[in-house]
Structure 1
Amino acid sequence: MLVAPNRRGEVAAHSSSAVDNIAPSGGSSPAASAIVAQAVSGSHVVKIDGYSRIKGLGNGKYIASESFTIGGHRWCMRYYPDGCQTEDAYWISIYLQHSTDPTDASEVKAEFKMSLLDQDRQPVALRGRCIHTFSSKERAWGFRQFIKRKDLEESPYLKDDVFSIRFDVTVSKGIFTEPILPHVVVPPSNMHQHLGQLLSAGEAADVTFEVGGETFAAHRCILAARSSVFKAELLGPMKEKTATRV
């Protein structure tokens, strides 16, 4: 569909939104907390195939790309091959449009970047990032003077009458607070040292082994846990189960 756009500026400066009346829930105050802004990012590439045949469409007229989904929202590109406004007649204008129902009063805040792809399919940014709150009143935002047609035609980005534009979009998904729990350092286990001390001292020993005329005090539960043979001998139905000397 070919339409004449509303007159708009190129890219306006945007101040960051203030977050009011957001307080952590729960009882006692944590040692630290965080304010977290959730976001979802994605990319989409639009290929312009037949640049020379599309050129000459007319100043102020655009072609909308197929829609694509990023962050749970539908988007499309507005491509003005002969510029968006009269003073842009020698330029290509590119806009990102939020494909929302005109009757939908909700707003979507997004940060996005437009890049040309080189012959290695790597993005080359010609303009900085934009931050915009899309709404039914302002559905599209971008650059009236993205690149001069002459510059594109003399660049390596246009080959065989084809060039591609990549959109990198980050959609804000909400803000919440959360406590930051203190970091607890868990010391390495020294249980083996304590068990060794019990064995050396013979404390709490409940079984004694006689081997070659020598006696060795031991702990029945430790032997059973470490050896299936000792478990059957000391805890099973064998006679050694109740014996204190083996």
Structure 2
Amino acid sequence: MPAPGSAALGVDEPRSASAIVGATVTGHHLLHIDGYSRTKHKLPTGQFIKSLPFSVGGRSWCISYYPNGLRSEYADFVSVFLHLDKSAGEPVKARTKFCLLDRAGKPVPSNTSTTEPYEYLPGGVGFGIAQFISTAFLEKSEYLLDDCFKITCDIIMSEELRTEDRIAASPFVAVPPSDLNRHLGDLLAAQDGADVTFQVAGETFRAHRFLLAARSPVFKAELWGTMKESAATMVSLRIDDMLPQVFKALLHFIYTDSLPEMEGQEEAVMAQRLLEAAVRYGMPRLKLICEDRLCRHLDVRTAATTLVLAEQHNCHGLKEACIEFLKSPRLLEAVVETDGFEHLTKSFPALVKELMCKLAAH
């Protein structure tokens, strides 16, 4: 969505990096938002702070940060847009990815957004993400630390822009971001045209076979034969060994590619159960999102059980996070006293041996 012009203030920023591979230029920029509450209070919706310029591919760029959204319909979101400086000369076609960073400096999958390829005109309107971060989510999250948070901007651009690929950009037309997830979420809620019913621990859920089959190879295998035999009739399936609230969250992800908002221990427990569901139904993106959530909820009570879960389901990143957590002698001593560690030693002696070897090497 192109961003309208507006007066802007400067904001500090730490560093940039770029590389050229063949005819493609990639660049990375880290934007540090210091004093979030002050910017939110000072700037109304539609007003932005512009970063200092940074260089990618020999051209000067900057980022516009809207603490209260691009326009009134985005007032509950932080908006971010990329601009090409007027000194750049020729237009540049680029794809941009914006990522919210966690405390370890790693991208948060649920708050990572990539734009479609866009032709940036020197000194022209920008392009970016209007609904980048929900302000309600940000203000409750651990990513806002001491009133600060960090965003990365990755730029992938072609060195040569073909004439036939050029699209005239207009400051009068604003194309909104995709709202497909909202429409599919409404479809799930309304159940219009639903043709499959699930019985889960006494609760009934209705859904759409074509969407389930598109999102999960396991659902596709389960429903394909049934669809060929009775495409116009309602099919009923029973789901065993899953709680209704977990299946509800699974359906929410299938339709919207996102998880319902949760907090604290509720999020940790749901992430654990959804990870198992992701493995069961062959959904790798959901599995990685759950791994990321569990990494952020590691504590003395959960470290041992999470390590077991990671081992059982081949979650390499989550396993390394657990081991890194246990490298602290103080934390390890506390974890050893938990019931989870007792279960670990009795049921997974080989894993305990591997853990001890890695801790000894450290």
TM bucket by the smaller chain?
A: 0.5 to 0.7
Does the CA-based 8 Å contact 2:63-2:83 persist in structure 1? yes
Q: 1:143 to 1:101 in 2, by over 3 A?
A: same
- Residue among 78, 83, 91 paired with 1:107: 91
Q: 1:175 to 1:92 in 2, by over 3 A?
A: closer
Q: Percent identity?
A: 38
Distance apart, 1:65 and its partner CA: 0.5
Distance apart, 1:5 and its partner CA: 2.4
Tell which structure's C-alpha radius of gyration is larger: 1
Within 5 Å, give how 1:75-224 maps onto structure 2. Answer: 75-101=61-87, 106-125=90-109, 126-130=111-115, 131-136=117-122, 138-174=124-160
Provide Cα deviations, 1:157-190, integer angstroms capped at 9, x if missing partner: 11110001001111211389xxxxxxxxxxxxxx
Does the CA-based 8 Å contact 1:71-1:170 persist in structure 2? no
Provide the rounded CA distance (Å) in 2 between the counterparts of 1:88 and 1:43: 26
Distance apart, 1:138 and its partner CA: 4.1
Runs of 4+ in 1 over 3 A off after TM superposition: 136-139
Distance apart, 1:129 and its partner CA: 1.9
3-state SS in 2 of match to 1:87? helix
Q: Counterpart in 2 of 1:55?
A: 40
Does the CA-based 8 Å contact 1:59-1:86 persist in structure 2? yes
RMSD, matched Cα: 2.6
Provide the rounded CA distance (Å) in 1 between the counterparts of 2:125 and 2:4: 11
Q: 1:173 to 1:90 in 2, by over 3 A?
A: same
Gaps of 5+ in 1: 8-35, 177-246
Distance apart, 1:137 and its partner CA: 7.3
Greater shift in the superposed pair: 132-141 or 52-61:
132-141
Provide the rounded CA distance (Å) in 1 between the counterparts of 2:119 and 2:157: 10
Residue identity in the other structure for 1:59: T
Provide Cα deviations, 1:182-222, integer angstroms capped at 9, x if missing partner: xxxxxxxxxxxxxxxxxxxxxxxxxxxxxxxxxxxxxxxxx
Provide Cα deviations, 1:67-118, integer angstroms capped at 9, x if missing partner: 100111111110011111111111111101111249x5x3101111000111
Distance apart, 1:6 and its partner CA: 5.4
- Which structure has more relative contact order (CA 8 Å, sep 6+)? It is 1
Higher helix share: 2
Q: 1:169 to 1:140 in 2, by over 3 A?
A: same
3-state SS in 1 of match to 2:137? helix
Distance apart, 1:48 and its partner CA: 0.3
Distance apart, 1:139 and its partner CA: 3.2
Number of residue pairs the alignment of both structures matches: 143
Distance apart, 1:136 and its partner CA: 4.1
TM-score, with length taken from structure 2: 0.37
Residue identity in the other structure for 1:112: T
3-state SS in 2 of match to 1:153? helix
Q: 1:160 to 1:137 in 2, by over 3 A?
A: closer
Q: 1:52 to 1:114 in 2, by over 3 A?
A: same
Gaps of 5+ in 2: 7-20, 163-362
